[in-house]
Amino acid sequence: MTESELLEAARTVQDSAHVPYSEYPVGAALETADGEVFVGCNLENANFSNSLHAEEVAIAEAVKKGHRDFSRLAVSSGRRDGVTPCGMCRQTLAEFCDDDLIVICDEGEGEAPSEYTLGELLPNTITEEMLE
């Protein structure tokens, strides 16, 4: 899948977002090492701490299907403002993804997307080894 196709998958899933409070739809498309793509959108709840973020929904779908090796993540908001995963989502991604996971952030039509690695977005992450 090309980078633009991965971004388009993240954009498309935004239509399913439930965002009555923020009115800020986010979509994520997570590509596995073998090329399968799982999408997620944000689902808000009146109790904000119970809301689900797009990246969490996408990784939950992939893990549920047995995937544990990921190559790229595309993230897009309805505003096409270069949104990156929040700190909580970065930590969730770090639980299942290596530091070299490519994170593609949608800057909008006609603009090149921003690209980071998970390690750049979340240096010195909390790991399982730290808890031993």
Q: What are 94-127's pLDDT values in tens digits?
A: 999 999 999 999 999 999 999 999 999 999 888 8
The torsion angles phi and psi of 46, rounded to 5 degrees, stand at: -55, -30
pLDDT for 125 equals 85
Higher pLDDT, 19 or 130: 19
CA distance 65 to 38: 10
Compute the half-sphere exposure of residue 96: CA atoms within 13 Å on the CB side of its CA. Answer: 25
pLDDT for 126 equals 83
pLDDT, the chain, mean: 96
Answering whether pTM is above 0.85, one says yes
Q: Which residues are catalytic?
A: 55
Cα-Cα-Cα-Cα dihedral sign, residues 117, 48, 26, 70: positive
CB–CB of 30/73 below 8 Å? yes
Q: With bands split at pLDDT 50, 70 and 90, how would you rate the model's confidence at 129?
A: confident
| Rounded (10°) CA dihedral 18, 20, 106, 50 | -60
The string of pLDDT tens digits covering residues 35-45 is: 999 999 999 99
Q: Which of 100, 99, 98, 101 is nearest to 28 (CA)?
A: 101
pLDDT for 130 equals 80
CA distance 15 to 13: 5
pLDDT for 13 equals 98
The string of pLDDT tens digits covering residues 62-83 is: 999 999 999 999 999 999 999 9
